[in-house]
Amino acid sequence: SGMLYIVATPIGNLEDITFRAIRILKEVDLVAAEDTRHTRKLLTHFGITKPLTSYFDHNKSLKGEYILDRLRDGLSVALVTDAGTPCISDPGYQLVRSAVSEGIAVVPIPGACAAIAALSASGLPTDSFIFHGFLSNRSARRRDCISSFKEAKHVIVLYEAPVRLMATLEDIRELLGERVVVVGRELTKLHEEFVRGPVSEVMDSFVDRQIRGEVVILISPRSEETQIPDFAEVEARLRKYFFR
Ligand code: SAM
């Protein structure tokens, strides 16, 4: 059977595609894309013409079968999504799972991933982290999930829509307290921005602004709180200690 390549594409800056990704996209028989129009533009930019087929959330079982058939026939297929690494908060997992269970070789072609890019420049501890992807869009579930981060000893990495950034930061402040957070916005693009600090300060910096583009939110673990020099709090603690 053919090979299934899981090909990462840029998350904004087209220079972030890898030499290997370009070679694989040139060599495969078929490219399965989340949005064929979007991917056609990317391929055209790199001078690649290739048959494209769509593979996205709502056609994934039907299209999965079609793609598996091509692989069984010995064709090689590259799976790409609109941005970053397929299967990471993006379609692909079921296809990979089916291919693996049939003994079809699945080969990752690594590259950009917003979560890793944000974490790497966040300044938060990077030794261990929890990637959570998107929160539920139902308010009660979102809040339950954020509350469940209370005792986490690792940095939490979230994907969020820009329109919900403020509400999510507000929930973090309310449910977890004054944690240090980092928001990475428009990574690798012209207006790339990092905002780092206690959650209220980060919120202040976004207030009265229309928040555009794509964002990653990182929440520091509880133990990190001690690293914020919050003098008012230190003073309050000392006072409690000396004057109890
Ligand atoms: N598969 C992608 C990856 O590897 O990062 C993630 C796809 S997910 C559908 C899209 C989300 O990723 C956005 O809502 C945002 O949270 C994050 N994201 C993608 N590109 C980004 C960028 N350039 N800057 C900040 N966040 C980004």
Pocket of ligand 1 (CB under 6 A): 11-12, 81, 83-85, 88-90, 113-115, 159-161, 184-189, 214-216
Closest residue CA from atom 2 of ligand 1? 84
The 10 Å CB-count burial string (b at 16+, else e) for 214-231 is: bbbbbbbbeeebeeeeee
- Element housing 10 (H / E): none
Q: Relative to the CA of 86, which ligand 1 atom is closest?
A: 1
User: 215-219 and 155-160: which strand pairing?
Assistant: antiparallel
User: 30-33 and 52-54: which strand pairing?
Assistant: parallel
Which one, of 51, 129, 59, 140, lies nearest residue 94 by Cα?
Answer: 59
Q: Quote the pTM value.
A: 0.91
- Give the count of beta carbons closer than 10 Å to the beta carbon of residue 35: 15
What are the E-state strand segments in 63-146? 77-80, 106-109, 129-134
Residues 6+ positions from 212 with CB-CB distance below 8 Å: 162, 186
- Element housing 219 (H / E): strand 215-219
Q: What is the DSSP letter of 15?
A: G
- Element housing 75 (H / E): none
For ligand 1, the distance from its centroid to the CA atom of residue 90, given in whole angstroms, is 9
AA identity, residue 187:
L
For ligand 1, the distance from its centroid to the CA atom of residue 89, given in whole angstroms, is 8
ipTM of the complex: 0.99
For ligand 1, the distance from its centroid to the CA atom of residue 241, given in whole angstroms, is 46
Residue by residue, pLDDT tens for the chain (244 residues) are 899 999 999 999 999 999 999 999 999 999 999 999 999 999 999 999 999 999 999 998 999 999 999 999 999 999 999 999 999 999 999 999 999 999 999 999 999 999 999 999 999 999 999 999 999 989 999 999 999 999 999 999 999 999 999 999 999 999 999 999 999 999 999 999 999 999 999 999 999 888 999 999 999 998 765 455 555 665 666 566 555 4
What would the DSSP string read from start to end of 48-60?
----EEE--TTTH
- The single residue listed with the structure tokens 């999504």 is 81
Q: At 93, phi and psi to the nearest 5?
A: -55, -45
For ligand 1, the distance from its centroid to the CA atom of residue 183, given in whole angstroms, is 12
Closest residue CA from atom 23 of ligand 1? 187
